[in-house]
Structure 1
Amino acid sequence: MWIVLSLFTALCEAIKDGLCKKGLQGNNFLVIAWAWKAFSLPFLLPLSFITPVPEYLSLRFLGILALGGGLNILATILYIRAIQASDLSLTLPLLSFTPIFLLFTSPLMVGDKPEPTGFLGVFLIFLGSYILGSSKPGFWGPIKGLFSEKGPRLMLCVALIWSIAANVDKMGIRETSPFFWAFCVQAFIASGLTLLLFKQQKSISLGSRKNIFLLSLIGLFTAMGLISQMSAVNIGLVPYVIAIKRLSIVFGVIIGALVFKEKDLKLRLCGAMIMLAGVFLMTA
């Protein structure tokens, strides 16, 4: 079941990314980042009432929430600055380092220790996602970008932060439940980004009804993906779940080709096949 949930997370992530790309045509990055978190809350709130919740929230839970929420706020800000500073083709491939970092952070933080074939599977998913994102600047483009541009360095920091935050998610789920934790951490992140947005812009303008509908779709697929991810993390190993989540790049290639008419598909499909081989190794 965790495999199915992880694949559904990847699909939701890819659709959300496509919607965000569409939304960026009429909104600035900060509004999209805020909507990404805030517009998911109405969809998460009902589920938080129908799932078991502790009679009281311990200080440990509040500490985990503050840590997880704070890490994700920082990651979101760095993510925005990264894609503002450099091309997407240079920055996004660095996110494929997250499963690699998780191989070291998960055993230390939550005791998730992959099997030897799992290590190889995670590596293949990393390699495939790297190839998918690096076709335009050349295979070594993202690595070279670390030394020459600010964006890739910031995105590598995001990958490292998310490799810690994913384990914090599992810790929070153990204290409560997947649905309740998903709502709490998302509300914490949205609150922090709301304060930041008001500080930067003094007000939030959502524009037309069409734009609000688009932002609502972003929130819907974010909520579905988050619920699926938390459920998968609850029953599966964190490195495996996040590695399969990176298959969103495969779905993104399909969306990019069909919707945005993106090119360079031959090398990207090669990367997708390598990622799929990694999934088969992890689930064998």
Structure 2
Amino acid sequence: MWIILSFLTAVCEAAKDGLCKKSLRDLDVFTISWVWKVFSLPFIVPLIILAPVPEHLPKEFWVALVVGGGLNILATLLYIRAINLSDLSITLPLLSFTPVFLLFTSPLMVGDVPSAQGYAGVFFIFCGSYLLGIKDRSSLFSPLLAIVKEPGARLMLGVALIWSVAANMDKIGVTATSPFFWAVCVQGFISLGLTLILLMNRSSLKGRIRSNMPVLLLIGLVTGAGFVFQMWAIKIGLVPYVIAIKRTSIILGVLIGGLYFLEQDLKTRIWAATVMLAGVFLIALS
């Protein structure tokens, strides 16, 4: 079940990336970051009905909420800034470092230790994601060179590192409460933080948001759905595995970049997708 939920998370993640990239033509980074989280709340908050409020919230919940929520606020701003500065095909592959970082952070933070086959699966997904960043066959190091040359790539690598810690905070949060209750609480915390940042930025929003409302509502819908799928998945699966499968959204995101935004080299992307799916298969069998 957690494998299916992780794949659904990946589909929602890819849709969100394409919609945010499109919206950046008309709106600034702070506004899209705010929309990404706040517009998902109407689709997440009703889930509190399905999750009874605990009589007692343990200390672990509050630590996870403040630390995880704060890290996600920072990562959200860096993420949108990254896809605004550089192509999706350059920035998104660097998110493959998240499950790699998780192989070190998860055993330390929540005790999730993958099997040898699971490690191999994560490695395959990382390799496939790396291939997605290769611009041409003459330069196997172009994804790493992009970190040096592309400001968006550097920012996205930072996002991958931040998320390798924040994902474990999610694990702590859902374990202390429930997937739906945690989803509402942490998304509300992030939305509040981004609202305060947006108000301090003093952007003029009303007219631009109204004219882009259909796309912004779609961002909220796919973000809310993907967030719930992810919380549900990490409740019953190992965090590195869930996030590794979630990162297959990179395949869909790069395809969106090629087909809609006319970014280059889709043939390489197909080979990369095959390698990533081999990794998913290994994880599923582990």
Fold conserved (TM > 0.5)?
Answer: yes
Percent of aligned pairs with the same residue? Answer: 60
- Check whether the contact 2:95–2:159 (CA below 8 A) recurs between aligned residues: yes
Deviations 1:32-71 (A, max 9, x none): 1110000000110110122132013333322210011001
TM (normalized to structure 1)? 0.93
Partner-residue secondary structure (3-state), 1:124: helix
The residue number in structure 2 matching 1:217 is: 218
Q: Distance in 2 between matches of 1:157 and 1:193?
A: 19
The residue matched to 1:171 in structure 2 has which SS?
helix
Counterpart for residue 232 of structure 1: 233
d(CA) in 1 for partners of 2:59 and 2:117? 38
- Quickly say closer, same or farther: Cα 1:121–1:167, change in 2 above 3 A: same
Equivalent position of 2:78 in the other structure:
78
Q: Structure 2 vs 1, CA of residues 206 and 129 (structure 1 numbering), >3 Å: closer, same or farther?
A: farther
Unaligned runs of 5+ in 2: none
Return the alpha-carbon distance in structure 2 between the equivalents of residues 83 and 13 of structure 1: 14
Q: 1:140: Cα distance to partner? A: 1.3
Secondary structure (helix, strand or coil) at the match of 1:207 reads: helix
Other-structure match for 1:15: 15
Equivalence for 1:63: 63
Contact (CA 8 Å) 2:15, 2:253: kept in 1 or not? yes
The amino acid that maps onto 1:273 is T
How many pairs were matched up? 284
> Could you tell which deviates more after superposition, 126-135 or 271-280?
126-135
Secondary structure in 2 aligned to 1:57?
Answer: coil
In the alignment, what sits opposite 1:187?
A: 188
Residue 123 of structure 1 is matched in structure 2 by: 123
CA gap 1:254/1:146 in 2 versus in 1, 3 angstroms: closer
Instruction: Give the structure 2 partner of residue 104 of structure 1.
Output: 104
Contact 2:89 2:257 in 1 (8 A): no
Q: Deviations over 1:126-184 (max 9, x none)?
A: 11112113336943123123344543333222111100100100100011110111111
Measured after TM superposition, the shift of residue 86 of structure 1 is 4.7
Structure-to-structure mapping, 1:266-281, within 5 angstroms: 266-281=267-282
Q: Match of 1:276, SS?
A: helix
Alpha-carbon spacing, 1:141–1:116, altered in 2? closer, same or farther (3 Å): same
Aligned to 2:206: 205
Give the whole-Å Cα distance in 2 for the aligned partners of 1:96 and 1:259.
Answer: 22
The 1-side partners of 2:207 and 2:265 are apart by: 34
Aligned residue for 1:53, secondary structure, equals coil
> What is residue 172 of structure 2 aligned with on the other side?
171
Once residues 80 and 13 of structure 1 are traced to their aligned partners in structure 2, the CA distance between those partners, rounded to angstroms, is 13
Q: Is the 8 A contact 2:89 2:254 kept in 1?
A: no
Q: Residue 128 of structure 1 contacts residue 274 of structure 1 at CA under 8 Å; is this kept in 2?
A: yes
Measure the CA separation in 2 of the matches of 1:200 and 1:136.
40
TM-score by length of 2: 0.92
Kept in 1: contact 2:87–2:263 (CA 8 A): no
Greater shift in the superposed pair: 193-202 or 2-11: 193-202
SS state of the match for residue 208, structure 2? coil
Structure 1: segments with no counterpart, 5+ residues: none
How many angstroms apart in 1 are the aligned matches of 2:146 and 2:262? Answer: 26
* CA separation of 1:207 and 1:153: change in aligned 2, threshold 3 A: closer
